[in-house]
């Protein structure tokens, strides 16, 4: 039966959804290949999660060193060496690309460096350097990723008007920048640029920044941005932009103009199906140009799966990886494999960090008759004082009748690490009482989870709740 096809599973794309899918398929006994037209690792490794966090960590160190005197450490002077920052970023990216290649090889997954397009539902045409052939596959998993949305008012020239890939890959910093879009990508860049001494203006059409995240958390970040000198213009749209003396001059919906050396447009991303010829496979994109899928990640053609950004939904690397596991498992014979989006943590690497999982306040009040909400401030935690990072809080929501945790929102130090416990608690349908009865080590930031849970059950000890 296998001889009818070249591969049992062919994966298009090597990002966090694609390479994981290829490996899992091979682990389950399938003859698998991963086809990649660009660099291994996809958007996440090359121009997304990894390089931005490398820059973010350097920015965070800049801010910490600037406060070294508060910790009794005398630092006579410190300055940014951005070429060294960029070189470190590139080393990390290169190392992780190599890691993906090694993982594929060690699991027996064939790596094909080419661009793939459908010839028919079971065949793929490959084009690349030294490659020009067709292959057939019993199952295909599309993991082609996404690309930045472009504004008609500010088309990318990738020099003065940049997308996020341009910004994260740049080897020098502009003196000033206008960021269009106050979502998590735009605000992450705003924090990074500001810490590096760049003059930053953020324009956001919604009435607040980070519109998809908890409002209390967003408000905390907005205060930090204001203190750092970032100009945030919420409720304001970009009307037009023109190049001016090597920079840009933007006209805004309030009639004002903003001048900057560069513009970074971060207004979202869209599935990247370009060049795949999906119509030859009998597929049509949805309204958002995504590939519609069922819980098993199957498209309208049951043997063709789609994972990651091409299916829309939460465009997060960890979601793509889980979708890749589900698709590969189902394609390899585990027919019960299905995607569950109820517990999906999300992080914003801003200052201070934000991390959330589960329902927001409005969603929770729609889902439960009674909702209890409690916040525990980091300023009441010993470890936060030791770190000198006392801003922010842990916010917990629970069902007032059953006590089951409904959502957790963290704004503060190491929020991206703390959210793991919250995700596990929601996955296991923990109650606030069960979390409050769990002993947490002292002194740690994780105690904030325990303290917030104690607040929910009405028995706070270390704060007035």
DSSP letters, 69-103, are: GGGT---------HHHHHHHHHHHHHHHHHHHHHH
What is the rounded distance in angstroms from the CA atom of residue 462 to the CA atom of residue 35?
Answer: 55
Which one, of 26, 17, 28, lies nearest residue 324 by Cα? 17
Distance, CA of 449 to CA of 429 (rounded, Å): 16
Whether 405 and 358 have beta carbons less than 8 Å apart is answered as: yes
145 in Cβ contact with 272 (< 8 Å): yes
For 35, residues 6+ apart whose C-beta sits below 8 A from its C-beta are 10, 11, 12, 13, 112, 114, 116, 124, 126
Q: Which of these, 305, 303, 331, 301, lies nearest to 30 by C-alpha position?
A: 331
CB of 162 closer than 8 Å to CB of 156: yes
Which H/E stretch holds residue 262?
Answer: strand 262-265
The four Cα atoms 199, 205, 206, 207 give a dihedral, to 10 degrees, of: 60
Tell me, yes or no, if 330 is annotated catalytic: no
Beta strand ranges found along 78-234 (DSSP E): 110-113, 115-120, 123-128, 131-142, 146-148, 161-162, 176-180, 199-204, 231-234
Short-list 123, 24, 105, 23, CA closest to 333 = 24
Cis peptide before 443 (omega within 30 of 0): yes
pLDDT number for residue 168: 98
pTM for the predicted model, two decimal places: 0.96
451, 463 contact by CB (below 8 A): yes
- Unique residue bearing structure tokens 């990002």: 15
* Three-class secondary structure of residue 167 per DSSP: helix
Catalytic residue among 409, 440, 442, 450: 442
Task: List Cβ neighbours of 109 (8 Å cut-off, separation of 6 or more).
Answer: 19, 22, 23, 25, 26, 32, 33, 34
Q: Alpha-carbon distance 177 to 25, whole Å?
A: 45
Give the pLDDT of residue 1.
Answer: 39
Query: Which residues make Cβ contacts (< 8 Å) with residue 295, sequence separation at least 6?
Result: 338, 339
DSSP state of 109: P
How far is it, in rounded angstroms, from Cα 444 to Cα 427?
23
393-399/371-377 β-pairing: antiparallel
Residue 266 to residue 257: CA distance in whole angstroms: 19
CA distance 60 to 80: 12
Burial class (CB in 10 A: 0-12, 13-18, 19+), 200: buried
Domains of the chain are 2-147+270-331 (3.50.50.60), 161-267 (3.50.50.60), 352-456 (3.30.390.30)
d(CA 433, CA 33): 48
Helix ranges (DSSP H) in 115-264: 164-169, 184-195, 215-227
Within 112-180, where are the H helices? Answer: 164-169
SS3 label, residue 70: helix
Side-chain half-sphere exposure of 378, counting CA atoms within 13 A: 27
The first and second tokens of residue 293, run together, are 């899928």
Of 463, 337, 342, nearest in space to 394 by CA: 463
Tell me how crowded residue 86 is: count the other CB atoms within 10 A of its CB: 20
Average pLDDT across each block of 10 residues of the chain; the chain has 465 residues. List them in order: 83 98 98 97 97 98 95 93 98 98 98 96 90 91 97 95 98 98 98 98 98 96 98 97 92 96 97 96 92 98 98 96 98 96 97 98 95 97 97 97 98 98 98 97 98 94 83
The H-or-E segment that residue 336 falls in is none
Scanning 310-446, the segments in alpha helix (DSSP H) are: 317-331, 361-367, 382-387, 415-427, 432-436
Q: In the prediction, which pLDDT does 324 show?
A: 98
In this structure, are residues 269 and 108 in contact, taking their beta carbons and an 8 Å threshold? no
User: In whole angstroms, what is the distance from residue 357 CA to residue 154 CA?
Assistant: 34
């Amino acid at each position: 039966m296998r001889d009818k096809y070249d591969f049992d599973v062919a994966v298009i794309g090597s990002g966090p959804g694609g390479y994981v899918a290829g490996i899992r398929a091979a682990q389950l006994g399938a003859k698998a290949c991963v086809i990649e037209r660009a660099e291994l690792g996809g958007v996440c490794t090359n121009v997304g999660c990894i390089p931005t966090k490398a820059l973010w960590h350097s920015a965070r160190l800049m801010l910490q060193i600037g406060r070294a005197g508060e910790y009794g450490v005398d630092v006579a002077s410190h300055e940014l060496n951005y070429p060294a920052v960029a070189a470190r970023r590139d080393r990390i990216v290169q190392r992780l690309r190599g890691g993906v290649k090694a993982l594929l090889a060690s699991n027996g997954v064939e790596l094909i460096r080419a661009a793939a397009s459908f010839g028919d539902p079971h065949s793929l045409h490959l084009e690349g350097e030294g490659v020009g052939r067709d292959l057939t596959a019993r199952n295909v998993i599309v993991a082609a990723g996404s690309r930045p949305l472009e504004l008609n008012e500010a088309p990318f020239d990738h020099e003065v008007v940049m997308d996020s890939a341009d910004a994260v890959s740049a080897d020098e910093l502009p003196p000033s920048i206008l960021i269009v879009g106050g979502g998590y990508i735009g605000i992450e860049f705003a924090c990074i640029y500001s810490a590096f001494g760049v003059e930053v203006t953020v324009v956001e059409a919604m009435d607040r920044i980070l519109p998809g995240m908890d409002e209390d958390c967003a408000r905390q970040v907005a205060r930090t941005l204001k203190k750092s000198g970032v100009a945030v213009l919420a409720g304001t749209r970009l009307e037009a932009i023109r190049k001016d003396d090597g920079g840009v001059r933007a006209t805004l919906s309030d009639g004002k103009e903003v001048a900057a050396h560069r513009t970074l447009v971060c207004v979202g991303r869209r599935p990247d199906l370009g060049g795949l010829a999906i119509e030859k496979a009998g597929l049509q994109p949805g309204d958002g140009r995504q590939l519609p899928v069922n819980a098993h990640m199957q498209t309208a053609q049951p043997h063709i799966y789609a994972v990651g950004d091409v299916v829309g939904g939460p465009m997060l690397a960890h979601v793509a990886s889980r979708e890749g596991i589900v698709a590969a498992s189902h394609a390899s014979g585990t027919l019960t494999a299905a995607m569950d989006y109820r517990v999906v943590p999300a992080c914003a690497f801003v200052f201070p960090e934000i991390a959330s999982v589960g329902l927001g306040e409005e969603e929770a009040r729609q889902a439960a008759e009674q909702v209890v909400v409690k916040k525990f401030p980091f300023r009441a935690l010993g470890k936060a004082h030791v770190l000198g990072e006392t801003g922010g809080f842990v916010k917990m929501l629970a069902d007032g009748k059953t006590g089951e945790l409904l959502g957790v929102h963290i704004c503060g130090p190491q929020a991206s690490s703390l959210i793991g416990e919250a995700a596990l608690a929601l996955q296991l349908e923990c109650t606030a009482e069960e979390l409050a009865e769990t002993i947490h080590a002292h002194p740690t930031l994780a105690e904030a989870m325990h303290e917030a849970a104690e607040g929910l059950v009405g028995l706070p000890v270390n704060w007035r709740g």
